Amino acid sequence: MLKTFSRLALGAAVAVGAFASAPALAGKTIDTIKQRGQLVCGVNTGLAGFSAADSQGNWSGLDVDYCKALAATLLGDVTKIKWTPLNAQQRFTALQSGEIDVLSRNTTWTLTRDSSLGLSFVGVTYYDGQGFMVPSKGKIKSAKQLKGATVCVQSGTTTEKNLTDYSRANNLNIKPVVFEKVEAATGAYFAGRCQAYTTDASGLASVRNKEAKNPADHLILPELISKEPLGPSVRRGDDEFFAIARWVLFALLEAEEYGVTQANVDQMKSSTDPVVQRLLGVSEDTGKLLGLDKDWAYRAIKAVGNYGEIFERNVGPKSPLGLPRGANNLWNKGGLMYAPPVR
């Protein structure tokens, strides 16, 4: 009996070991992307710091850089991307229907979205929270003073539901003024049709910097009324593409933690640090487990830099948005950003 059990256990161990070391097969999405020669990325129609196009049609932002890293990993070229601007109502349908390969559009990861829309969130690229913006010259200095106030908000967002929940929980009787497009909501607020405007705090900073005649005339209230973990998502059912999309994000975080940057990534290939060697494909070929080559993470970092560089360039203290790193710092620097080991 014991001998039989030992043989079964040994057989199982060998099978598991063989399976664990087997390279991943390419999923249908990856095949389509490679045949097309282009990654189709769904982004915001225009949110400074996250995804916005200049007058020449060049896209930039934190969400944009994630797609560039993914394109560099899969196709070796950040220019091989088709940008598909989407509003809040269009975004999930575009992903579900196959119009886009990945949605990287300041979208909150929630239970309902994760479980009922046929998509999977890759991870968190920005930890945010919903806030309010009001005219600086007014008497409102706290969200608790919004009793009976009219508040401009975009429909089809977690923002709209959060506003209703916050108003009810605090007996504020807030009167939402709802708009389908964000441009209509912000335009109404700046025209004085609402006493406040609400969205994610990062969005408030973006709107104030981009659209206000004088940003100093508008105050972002100190309270955050929700948790808004923002991140990219892909269609459910293609585990191979999901794994790649997830580990590209983790590689950018791991690169920051170990000091690998866009500028020094070539030099770091000679590092003696085992983690860096593994990340850059020098000592081990982790790419074969994802259906990629050994330089997959190297290409992503070379294209856009590590996560810290992406943050600083697009939304950080020295950018026009001037957002503090805060919760989006690495786990060993007081933040929430944490990547599983790339090994």
pLDDT score, position 26: 53
Tell me 204's DSSP state.
Answer: H
Each residue of 237-267: pLDDT tens digit?
999 999 999 999 999 999 999 999 999 999 9
Cβ atoms of 160 and 261 within 8 Å: the answer is no
Q: State the fold for domain 130-226.
A: D-Maltodextrin-Binding Protein; domain 2 (3.40.190)
Domain 28-127+230-333 CATH class label: alpha beta
CA Rg value for the chain:
22
Has residue 2 got a pLDDT over 90?
no
Lowest mean pLDDT among 18-22, 184-188, 330-334: 18-22
Average pLDDT, the chain: 92
CATH 3.40.190.10: which residues of the chain?
Answer: 28-127+230-333, 130-226
Provide the pLDDT for residue 237: 95
* pLDDT tens sequence across 210-233: 999 999 999 999 999 999 999 999
Q: Say if residues 256 and 308 touch (Cβ distance below 8 Å).
A: yes
DSSP symbols for 41-101: EEEESSBTTTBEE-TT--EESHHHHHHHHHHHHHHS-TT-EEEEEE-TTTHHHHHHHTS-S
* 12-16: Cβ within 8 A, 24+ apart: none
- Please report the pLDDT score of residue 18 as a whole number: 42
Would you call 288 exposed, middle or buried from its count of C-beta atoms within 10 A (0-12, 13-18, 19+)?
Answer: middle
pLDDT in tens, 11-22: 444 444 444 444
User: Residue with structure tokens 């998509």?
Assistant: 119
